[in-house]
Amino acid sequence: MRILKLLAAFAAALAVPAAAQGPAMRAPSPVAAGQHGPVVAAPLTKADVDSWLDGFVPYAIDQADIAGAVVVVVKDGHVLTERGFGYANVASRTRVDPATTMFRPGSTSKLFTWTAVMQQVQAGKLNLDRDINDYLDFKIPPAFGKPITLRNLMTHTGGFEETGKYLVVFAPDQPAPLDVVLKRWVPKRIYAPGSMPAYSNYGAALAGYIVQRVSGERFDAYVQHHIFDVLGMKHATFAQPLPPQYAANMATGYRQASIKPDGYEMVSLSPAGSLAASGDDMGKFMIAHLQSGGALLSPQTAALMHAQGSTPIPGVPGMALGFYHEDRNGLDIIGHAGDLNFFHSDLHLYLGKGVGLFVSFNSLGAQGAAHVVRQRLFDDFTDRYFPGNAPQLATQPTAHVHGLALSGHYISSRVSQTNFLRALNLLGGTTVALNSDDTITVAALTDTASVPKRWREVAPWQWQEVGGSDRLGALVRDGRVAMFAPAAFAPIIEFVPAPWAMNAGWIVPVAGIALVVLLLTAMSWPIVALTRRSYNYKSALGGRDLRLHCASRLTAWAILAVYAGWLGLVLVMTTAANAFDGRLDGWIRALQVVLVLGIVGTILTVWNAATVVARPGRHWLVSGWTVLLALSALFMIWLALDVRLLTAGLNY
């Protein structure tokens, strides 16, 4: 079980740079918890918000081992309150100042990139529905007979596979120019444009580069001149490494407040997440969007950007252009989350209310607590100041049939196909099960106690969280479930049915048996040899038969070494923030050499099994084990090749 948990942690580590990729931990709303009648909203005043924050944030970050936080609330074109909690730097005991302390909003940076795109659309230099190759000085290879458009990039439906290498680096000389990073490797297109939400940092960076191309300004300079300067954002920059004038204001990032920091994270795909900004400056950006674009966009352009234009799953909030919808309690809410290794942030705009909420933490916290704390803050803020009276819906008569149809194994739509990250398709999957009361549970969707939530069908292919406020929907095509997701997920990633080669339901147990067979074979070889030597016993095998026997045992060791080696790399990748800067390439190549030896050895192992079975007089147990060993080696080699542990290049 520990190995599986480590592999799951690896999957989570790779997902960090994207926004809102994990299941949200929602607190039950008063109505969902069983209270009836109208719910009275608390007054949205500075005094009330400050009092509420003081009762929530200091305790939460202290218990979670989070160093510091900033919270900003804007209302009707003004900052209602902006609060700093805890420490910007633990060692120096520097407190968080919401006006000047700079945090790293991670993927929330994309909102500035998308705003820049819409500025150029408004200026007539960009067309949302034109082939992006028309704006680039290199070509995105053709696929699926359809071009990728800016609208696809802004809704994360460009169809690119997941990437990880060089996304976050630490050495000041490592961030290459944006065009160099983008041209180094174009990720494979695995979905037809517009067909499947699959979050893409590469796609967002492409959009930023297109702004750079049509504007004639380096991307970070463009944002500085056309957004930061326009709004008076004095403590904000996309530049990397961090310019010296901001060093004194930059909050230090931590895994946990009690652990020594690692350094300043730099995002190679800079338009996707390299922003550093104070809470006060993020407030100015929120106000501009809440005022129909303010000084940044025309009201018509802002309305186009904010409108729900793509709804992958009916009944579940969809995607705007760059923003994703988080609608609840009868409100239009758009936002974006952002995560680096150490900084974790959320931005929410309550469009009809003129209210914005921004929160950022400079620590992941114990057991990833920052994700839970920020979700609870958003949930509680929404239910406190904009409560809803959700109707109590009856369970559908189709609950059993539809629950049964939804049951099975699923993987994330955000996947890789051409490199070892493909293993995350298998390891990061989930299962849906139908319960005896016709509710369903999704293994990956748990509450704050890590207990799977239960879901009750309240409309065709729509489920309500039992005892909570979340919704879950499924898209059905030709009578089969094509995808599903909870409303708490942004509409940028879906669960899709696992193909047979990625179905953990059968692969994991078979792999477990195969590894046991290989391990027993590998361990028995030296034990038998030592036993024979102690009794001065000479094996009856000789010549080719002996060589094949030895080769089969060496093959067991080689395959075990490959998987043990990858487990070691997983441990490094989950604990070292800079593990994806290319430093592990040598180890990956070494493991691939061992894998090639394992492939050759597997051929010899199969040959050995055929020889043993054909040899007269061999005991059935010996023949059976030899065949089982050959089958185990074949399976583990197939699995290694299928999850791309052997590749010609080292792009991932």
Summarize pLDDT for 606-645 with one digit per residue, the tens. Answer: 999 999 888 776 667 778 999 999 999 999 999 999 999 9
Q: Give me the amino acid identity at 342.
A: F
Phi/psi for 43 (5° steps) reads: -70, 125
pLDDT band for position 540 (50/70/90)? low
Summarize pLDDT for 310-356 with one digit per residue, the tens. Answer: 899 998 999 999 999 999 999 999 999 999 999 999 999 999 999 99
Q: What per-residue confidence (pLDDT) applies to 390? A: 73
Q: What per-residue confidence (pLDDT) applies to 34? A: 41
Instruction: List CB contacts of 175: < 8 A, sequence separation 6 or more.
Output: 169, 181, 240, 241, 266, 267, 268, 270
Cα separation, 506 vs 621, in Å, equals 26
Q: What per-residue confidence (pLDDT) applies to 477? A: 95
pLDDT band for position 36 (50/70/90)? very low
Predicted confidence (pLDDT) at residue 443 exceeds the cutoff of 80 = yes
Cα separation, 338 vs 344, in Å, equals 6
Q: Average model confidence (pLDDT) for the chain?
A: 91
Average pLDDT rounded to a whole number, residues 586-604: 97
Q: What per-residue confidence (pLDDT) applies to 379? A: 94
Residue (of 237, 285, 230) closest to 79 by Cα position: 285
Cα separation, 549 vs 528, in Å, equals 13
The residue that leads in pLDDT, 11 or 487, is 487
- Using alpha carbons, list the distances in angstroms from residue 541 to 298, 550, 553: 84, 10, 14
What burial letters (b/e) apply to 447-477, b meaning 16+ CB within 10 Å?
Answer: beeeebbbbbbbeebbbbbbebbbbbbbbbe
pLDDT band for position 489 (50/70/90)? confident
Sign, Cα dihedral of 381, 382, 387, 392: negative
pLDDT band for position 535 (50/70/90)? low
Phi/psi for 123 (5° steps) reads: -80, -5
Summarize pLDDT for 449-481 with one digit per residue, the tens. Answer: 889 999 999 999 999 999 988 999 999 999 999
Predicted confidence (pLDDT) at residue 33 exceeds the cutoff of 70 = no
CA terminus-to-terminus distance, the chain: 27
What burial letters (b/e) apply to 420-435, b meaning 16+ CB within 10 Å?
Answer: bbbbbbbbbbbbbebe
187, with CB counted inside 10 A (0-12, 13-18, 19+), is buried
Summarize pLDDT for 398-436 with one digit per residue, the tens. Answer: 999 999 999 999 999 999 999 999 998 888 889 999 999
Query: Which run of H or E residues covers position 219?
Result: helix 219-223
Phi/psi for 2 (5° steps) reads: -60, -40
Q: What per-residue confidence (pLDDT) applies to 516? A: 97
Predicted confidence (pLDDT) at residue 534 exceeds the cutoff of 80 = no
Look up residue 462 and give its DSSP letter.
E
Instruction: List CB contacts of 110: < 8 A, sequence separation 6 or more.
Output: 19, 204, 271, 272, 273, 322, 336, 338
Cα separation, 149 vs 206, in Å, equals 11
CATH architecture of the domain formed by 2-385: 3-Layer(aba) Sandwich (3.40)
- What is the number of other CB atoms lying within 10 angstroms of the CB of residue 519? 15
* Structure tokens, 212: 């750079």
Any idea where the domains of the chain sit in the sequence? 2-385, 399-501, 504-642
Average pLDDT rounded to a whole number, residues 83-96: 98
Q: What per-residue confidence (pLDDT) applies to 613? A: 87
Query: Which run of H or E residues covers position 483?
Result: strand 480-486
Predicted confidence (pLDDT) at residue 517 exceeds the cutoff of 90 = yes
Q: What per-residue confidence (pLDDT) applies to 450? A: 85
Summarize pLDDT for 271-313 with one digit per residue, the tens. Answer: 999 999 999 999 999 999 999 999 999 999 999 999 998 899 9
Question: Do the beta carbons of residue 194 and residue 146 sit within 8 Å?
Answer: yes
Predicted confidence (pLDDT) at residue 18 exceeds the cutoff of 50 = no
